[in-house]
Amino acid sequence: MRHVYLDHQAATPLLPEAFEAMKPFFTEWFGNPSSLHEHGLRVREALKHSREQMAALIHAGSPDEIFFTSDGTESANLAIKGVAYANERRGKHLVVCATEHPSVINSVEFLEKQGWTCTRVGVDAEGHLRLQELRDAITPQTVLVAVHHVNHDIGTIQPVAEVGRICSEKGVPLYVDCEASAGWLPIDVDAWGAALVSFSPHRFYGPKGVGVLYRNKKARLVSIIHGGVQEGGRRAGTENVPAIVGAGVAAEVARRDLEARIAHTRELQVRLWDGLEKHVGFIKLNGPRPGPDRISTNLNISTEFIEGEGQLLLCDLNGIAVASGSSCVSKSLKISHVLAAIGLDHALAQGNIIMTLGRDTSVEDVDYVVQTFARIVEKLRGMSPMWDEFQRGIIDSVIRPTGRGKSFSQHAADVSGKSAH
Amino acid sequence: MRHVYLDHQAATPLLPEAFEAMKPFFTEWFGNPSSLHEHGLRVREALKHSREQMAALIHAGSPDEIFFTSDGTESANLAIKGVAYANERRGKHLVVCATEHPSVINSVEFLEKQGWTCTRVGVDAEGHLRLQELRDAITPQTVLVAVHHVNHDIGTIQPVAEVGRICSEKGVPLYVDCEASAGWLPIDVDAWGAALVSFSPHRFYGPKGVGVLYRNKKARLVSIIHGGVQEGGRRAGTENVPAIVGAGVAAEVARRDLEARIAHTRELQVRLWDGLEKHVGFIKLNGPRPGPDRISTNLNISTEFIEGEGQLLLCDLNGIAVASGSSCVSKSLKISHVLAAIGLDHALAQGNIIMTLGRDTSVEDVDYVVQTFARIVEKLRGMSPMWDEFQRGIIDSVIRPTGRGKSFSQHAADVSGKSAH
Amino acid sequence: MSETYTLYNSIVMDHFMHPRNMGDLKDADGVGEVGAAACGDIMKISLKIKDGKIEDARFKTFGCGSAIASSSMATELIKGRSIDEAMNFTNQEVVDALGGLPPVKIHCSVLAEEALKAALEDYIRKHPETASKLQTPMPAAA
Amino acid sequence: MSETYTLYNSIVMDHFMHPRNMGDLKDADGVGEVGAAACGDIMKISLKIKDGKIEDARFKTFGCGSAIASSSMATELIKGRSIDEAMNFTNQEVVDALGGLPPVKIHCSVLAEEALKAALEDYIRKHPETASKLQTPMPAAA
Ligand SMILES: Cc1ncc(COP(=O)(O)O)c(C=O)c1O
Ligand SMILES: Cc1ncc(COP(=O)(O)O)c(C=O)c1O
């Protein structure tokens, strides 16, 4: 059986060259960067080099603006809370996009419990932030605007440069979560006028266990993990040296291969979506069409009349690894707040699958997925009472309405006695 | 030149068997544990196994009581803030020992800025927590008592079981920072009645990038890094799978080798201190004598009339890696707050060196260190105006007072115009 | 696929991959369709009842793997039972027969119980004469 | 030791490992001993002065590597200078000659300057006749 990994948004294999670079730091150069002797100083050099590699990837002015954390989540927490706490006396208002990742949304909710207020700016049906709404949301008390570069769920590329212009006009620092874009799209912190940018190298073939936070020297930031004076006093705790070294290599390779990676995945993305659209009926692409508004790696699709987990399981049984709902929170089995924010019909949100391509995905992989997925959908529709009821005109399709029957949501509400949403 | 690594408190080399276990998780089993497909489920199993290994090391009742963080610092932050926030409505008072690690002390200081109050319980001249003072410090508003097992600086073993009895009598949860003891001393969370225990496998030959927090099911704890639902909702963020796997192996080996490690390092500790005491005059051991009150790996010594960094540098130039002051904060070059808390004379705090032994340290290593250190001290005293002035009766020794001359501190104050402390 | 790393145990996976009694019954004597508001799953069970006994059962399910497995198992278990026995059927039987479900998925077995009860109620509604013979009082409509 | 990984640059390391002018001068014409309250370092400089010129200089230092290197370098730089020139000596000369110091260690070079000035003041105190000839006014005592 063919094995096709289409969950690059959740994890990527470590680059062999990154692993090679990491190896000596486990058993040989194992020192603590805080130590003042040879063992410490050697690894301190290695951290410095990685900082330079990170700075280059995002066009940061100086490696001193790069801080290492443990992952993208911690970087997001540090950006949000670290700026909020640092500016507590200036104001206690934040503005975020409604479709931020939970690491941003939940950090904000935590601050709200501590007396901050937050405005969540809505998105259109394709997930684009409403710029005017954002502009209007900023008040003299606003100390931070947070907008992600690419949506982790539906692949929408946000107008970050425009947001940056609004922020600099209003004099409010901008934080951009680049977890879903770093290594896959060009990032230029200066061109955007971003005060903070976060990302995590494990999303572009770096190791797990390290996150990055860029902070422009002018932006005020206090630490949220307290202790020693590591990372310029902004992140206490013994640095994960091997991972930081490997992450540096991954950043360098990503920078070198960026154009090729984009071209390769874009071609496959188009082929995959075209194939699915052709061979699976009643299927919808969530987020923008493949093109300048969508990252080249992500396809978020809704297949009508069947549910997502079954699709995921049958994919897995056929060697295909995919995600459903919001990849990072799929454990909770809740429908992603992103799909809710774009106003996706409940019937379609239920049948959600996310496929994310990578540098090793091939044309053959894509063709196998199209074929296999069409069979899977057929099988699941054969089991689904909704498909049957659609055939019999009892319920209607959302994707291609026939004008016959009631809506899925209405039907679901009728049989469950409660509203489905 | 012989190379002797005596900074095991700052870092240890990764066990080869731990590294072997980690390897496949970088490039082959690279999945995200949150993923519902094969790649995710495989690594989810691996996390579970490591949790069992951690639970066994500290005699935890269930692997579900083990949470993975990024390091000991984060674990300490989570223990302190996570309990404080969870019990906010019950009370806002904490009790900690004055000689806790900065990750505890600075977490507490952060909470103090947010309206909590904290009592710091003093220690005696050897660093033992004053039990009666601790008992008196607990009020009906106290929501947490934090006491470390072993002091990171001077190796004092605290009467944790007694503290546990006081805490259960008073009905207050106890958090024990075991960073400096885990893997080197037996830990029994149930016998202690500890609600929370933290440690970091990189201190006992595990990898960097992972910390552990044990939390008894009955203790209330909320998360401090917000985002996804990883780690039972108590620590969001993609898990550092390879490190967690390697840490499990390190815990298992530590448990197996514990007795042997203790016996080996104790023998070397005694030999090293005896040798230094014999060959270097005017030298003092800080903390308890080698024996039941001191961890077997640590020697914290003060050498009179010379300063610590020079000793450290000359050691390094002779292939010997040691620490000075508080190993984790030596970058700041400040005298450790632990040495201040035991009331160590400023003259002695200045000349502070910490040597920590490991499983690979040999008798020959120790003898080389004794010899070399004696030469280093001689060289530095030859350069020191204080040594000269002591010979001439202008200043006196703290360690072996002659009754002639003024104190070092007085002299330092006279020449600098300000008090030296 | 790996044999070892699956989301559910091997019984659940088997019922998901090879569902028993999947489909509709042409001349069903009772049909129940229920939905779970919490997760959005929908389950439909059709029964063939003769001489007070469940002769045949079929299901259709819109839902996750454990929902499909739960309805497959429920229809297997229920065949051959009397209406009275069927009225006392509980989701725990499904859970046990499946060798356990993850805690977050127990509601799938509850849905199977509800679909079965709804089908039985439908039958009783259509055959009021059977109601009086029941030992178990009819549950209030869901 | 590694050649590459040292706390200070190679000039500083060289002056730390092989300090120049270490010791005391038997018949010193001026001696200054100063301490840094911040870090606890203590530095002592002795001068031999003839015909208004610093003929020889020696140091003793209780302090970190950069303090030892700073005093070694300061004594090297100062030899042969006139009292007037020496009075204008600044710590920056030490920093530059050492090829730079970490920011947190700049105070070591300041201490060297202070020790030198203290020694000069001691000389002038003992030789009040020289004071009038000075172009640089004597700094206020530290
Ligand atoms: C007692 C103690 N607690 C906590 C820490 C912090 O641990 P880590 O360096 O793993 O973040 C240390 C570090 O040395 C320590 O000694
Ligand atoms: C946009 C975005 N931000 C933040 C995160 C959290 O990153 P991590 O999983 O590295 O903690 C994710 C995770 O997928 C993400 O997609």
**What tens digit of pLDDT does each residue of B60-93 get?**
999 999 999 999 999 999 999 999 999 999 999 9
Q: Bigger pLDDT: A82 or A230?
A: A82
Q: Which atom of ligand 1 is nearest to the CA of B76?
A: 4
- Domain co-membership, A24 together with A168: yes
In the predicted structure, residue C104 carries a pLDDT above the cut 90: no
Final residue of a structural domain among A212, A238, A254: A254
Q: What is the DSSP annotation of B285-306?
A: EESSPSSTTB-TTEEEEEETTS
> Cβ contact (<8 Å) for C40 and A420?
yes
Q: Is residue B8 part of a domain?
A: no
The candidate with the shortest Cα–Cα distance to B335, out of B268, B211, B259, B421, is B421
Q: Is residue D141 part of a domain?
A: no
Q: What is the pLDDT of residues D70-104, one digit of tens each?
A: 999 999 999 999 999 999 999 999 999 999 999 88
Give the closest-approach CA distance of C40 to chain A in angstroms. Answer: 6
Does the beta carbon of C138 lie under 8 angstroms from any beta carbon of chain A? Answer: no
Q: Is residue B317 part of a domain?
A: yes
Chain centre to alpha carbon of residue D82: 15
Q: How far apart are CA A215 and CA A66, in angstroms?
A: 7
CB-CB contact of A181 with A173 (8 Å): no
Neighbours of chain B (3+ CB pairs under 8 A): A, C, D
Residue D129: band (very low, low, confident or very high) from pLDDT cuts 50, 70, 90: confident
Instruction: Kindly list the residues from chain C whose CB atom is less than 8 angstroms away from the CB atom of residue B38.
Output: 1-2, 5-6
Asked whether B73 lines ligand 1 (CB < 6 A), one says yes
The token pair that represents C58 in the structure block: 């079929």
Chains C and D touching, counted as 3 or more CB pairs less than 8 Å apart: no
Q: What is the pLDDT of residue A229?
A: 78
Q: How far apart are CA A80 and CA A221, in angstroms?
A: 9
> What DSSP state is assigned to residue C21?
T
Averaged pLDDT for residues B374-398: 96
E strand intervals along chain C: 30-35, 42-50, 53-62
Q: How far is it between the farthest Cα atoms of chain B?
A: 78
Best C2, C3, C5 residue to mutate vs chain B (most B CBs within 10 Å): C5
Q: What is the pLDDT of residue A344?
A: 93
Final residue of a structural domain among A234, A254, A274: A254
Q: What is the pLDDT of residue B228?
A: 86
Residue whose structure tokens are 């208002």: A93
Count of the separate structural domains present in chain A: 2
Q: Is residue B10 part of a domain?
A: no
Exposure letters A379-408 (e unless 16+ CB within 10 A, then b) = bbbebbbbbbbbeeeebbbbeeeeeebebb
Q: Is residue D115 part of a domain?
A: yes
Q: What is the pLDDT of residue B418?
A: 52
- Domain co-membership, A347 together with A211: no
In the predicted structure, residue D1 carries a pLDDT above the cut 60: no
H or E stretch at A175: strand A174-177
The length of chain B, given as a count of residues = 421
CATH, residue C116: 3.90.1010.10
Residue B416: band (very low, low, confident or very high) from pLDDT cuts 50, 70, 90: confident
Averaged pLDDT for residues B202-221: 97
- Domain co-membership, B238 together with B277: no
The candidate with the shortest Cα–Cα distance to C59, out of C108, C125, C96, C95, is C108
- Domain co-membership, A41 together with A144: yes
Does the beta carbon of C64 lie under 8 angstroms from any beta carbon of chain A? Answer: yes
Q: What is the pLDDT of residue B333?
A: 55
> What percent of chain A has pLDDT above 90?
89
The candidate with the shortest Cα–Cα distance to C3, out of A316, B1, B110, A277, is A316
Instruction: Kindly list the residues from chain A whose CB atom is less than 8 angstroms away from the CB atom of residue B229.
Output: 329, 331-332
**ipTM of the predicted structure?**
0.93
Q: What is the pLDDT of residue C138?
A: 59
Q: What is the pLDDT of residue C108?
A: 92
Instruction: Kindly list the residues from chain A whose CB atom is less than 8 angstroms away from the CB atom of residue C42.
Output: 385-386, 411-412, 415-416
Instruction: With both helix axes pointing from N to C terminus, report the angle between A363-383 and A308-317 in degrees, rounded to the nearest 10.
Output: 130
Asked whether A275 lines ligand 1 (CB < 6 A), one says no
Instruction: Kindly list the residues from chain D whose CB atom is less than 8 angstroms away from the CB atom of residue A36.
Output: 7
Exposure letters D100-136 (e unless 16+ CB within 10 A, then b) = ebeeebbbbbbbbbbbbbbbbbbbbeeeeeeeeeeee
Count of the separate structural domains present in chain C: 1
Asked whether A237 lines ligand 1 (CB < 6 A), one says yes
Does the beta carbon of C2 lie under 8 angstroms from any beta carbon of chain B? Answer: yes
Backbone angles phi, psi at A340, to 5 degrees: -65, -40
Residues 238-277 of B with CB under 8 A from A: 238-243
CATH, residue A290: 3.90.1150.10
Other Cβ atoms within 10 Å of A20 Cβ, number = 11
- Domain co-membership, B183 together with B287: no
Q: How far apart are CA C30 and CA C130, in angstroms?
A: 13
CATH, residue A77: 3.40.640.10
Ligand 1, atom 16, residue with closest C-alpha: B152
- Domain co-membership, A146 together with A243: yes
Residue A412: band (very low, low, confident or very high) from pLDDT cuts 50, 70, 90: confident
Q: What is the pLDDT of residue C142?
A: 40
Does the beta carbon of A180 lie under 8 angstroms from any beta carbon of chain B? Answer: no
Other Cβ atoms within 10 Å of A375 Cβ, number = 13
> Cβ contact (<8 Å) for D1 and A38?
yes
Enclosing domain of residue B186 = 16-254
CA dist list (Å): B259 to A75, A179, B48, B184, C93: 40, 45, 26, 9, 50
Query: For residue B43, how far is its CA from the centre of ligand 2 (angstroms)?
Result: 18
Q: How far apart are CA A262 and CA A272, in angstroms?
A: 15
> What percent of chain A has pLDDT above 70?
97
Q: How far apart are CA B269 and CA B263, in angstroms?
A: 10
Asked whether B172 lines ligand 1 (CB < 6 A), one says no
> Cβ contact (<8 Å) for A101 and B227?
yes
- Domain co-membership, A210 together with A72: yes
Neighbours of chain D (3+ CB pairs under 8 A): A, B
Q: What is the pLDDT of residue A420?
A: 41
Q: Is residue B269 part of a domain?
A: yes
> Cβ contact (<8 Å) for A10 and B34?
yes
Q: Is residue B1 part of a domain?
A: no
- B93 forms beta bridges with B117, B142
Chain centre to alpha carbon of residue C14: 17
> Cβ contact (<8 Å) for B34 and A312?
no
> Cβ contact (<8 Å) for C7 and B45?
no
Most ligand 1 atoms within 8 A of CB, residue of A238, A239, A240, A241 to mutate = A238
- Domain co-membership, A71 together with A211: yes
Residue whose structure tokens are 């692997």: B63
Does the beta carbon of D138 lie under 8 angstroms from any beta carbon of chain A? Answer: no
Asked whether B72 lines ligand 1 (CB < 6 A), one says yes
User: Among the listed ranges A349-363, C125-139, D117-131, which one has the minimum average pLDDT value?
Assistant: C125-139
- Domain co-membership, A165 together with A144: yes
Q: Which atom of ligand 1 is nearest to the CA of B74?
A: 11
Ligand 1, atom 7, residue with closest C-alpha: B72
> Cβ contact (<8 Å) for A322 and B107?
no
Instruction: Kindly list the residues from chain D whose CB atom is less than 8 angstroms away from the CB atom of residue A45.
Output: 4-5
Give the closest-approach CA distance of C46 to chain B in angstroms. Answer: 31
- Domain co-membership, A343 together with A206: no
Q: Is residue B4 part of a domain?
A: no
Enclosing domain of residue C65 = 10-126
In the predicted structure, residue A63 carries a pLDDT above the cut 80: yes
> What percent of chain D has pLDDT above 70?
92
Q: Is residue C109 part of a domain?
A: yes
Neighbours of chain A (3+ CB pairs under 8 A): B, C, D
Q: Is residue B6 part of a domain?
A: no
By Cβ distance, the residue of D17, D19, D60 closest to B385 is D60
Other Cβ atoms within 10 Å of B115 Cβ, number = 8
Residue C71's identity, in one-letter code, is S
Q: What is the pLDDT of residue D2?
A: 47
Asked whether B252 lines ligand 1 (CB < 6 A), one says no
Instruction: With both helix axes pointing from N to C terminus, report the angle between B38-58 and B241-279 in degrees, rounded to the nearest 10.
Output: 30
E strand intervals along A72-159: 93-97, 117-121, 142-148
Q: Is residue A334 part of a domain?
A: yes
Q: What is the pLDDT of residue C113?
A: 97
Neighbours of chain C (3+ CB pairs under 8 A): A, B
- Domain co-membership, A236 together with A142: yes
> Cβ contact (<8 Å) for D7 and A45?
no
Pocket of ligand 2 (CB under 6 A): A 71-73, 76, 101, 103, 148, 152, 177, 179-180, 200, 211, 328; B 227, 237-238
> Cβ contact (<8 Å) for D42 and B416?
yes
Residue whose structure tokens are 């104050």: B413
The token pair that represents A383 in the structure block: 């089991």
CB-CB contact of B198 with B61 (8 Å): no
Does the beta carbon of C61 lie under 8 angstroms from any beta carbon of chain A? Answer: yes
Alpha-helical (H) ranges within B318-401 are 337-341, 346-350, 363-383, 385-391
B interface with C, Cβ–Cβ below 8 Å: 36, 38, 41-42, 45
Residue B419: band (very low, low, confident or very high) from pLDDT cuts 50, 70, 90: very low
> What percent of chain B has pLDDT above 70?
97
- Domain co-membership, B143 together with B234: yes
- Is C64 noted as a catalytic residue in this protein? no
Phi-psi region of C80 (alpha: psi -120 to 50; beta: other; left: phi over 0): left
Residue of B nearest to C4 (CA): B42
Final residue of a structural domain among A226, A254, A282: A254
Query: For residue A135, how far is its CA from the centre of ligand 2 (angstroms)?
Result: 26
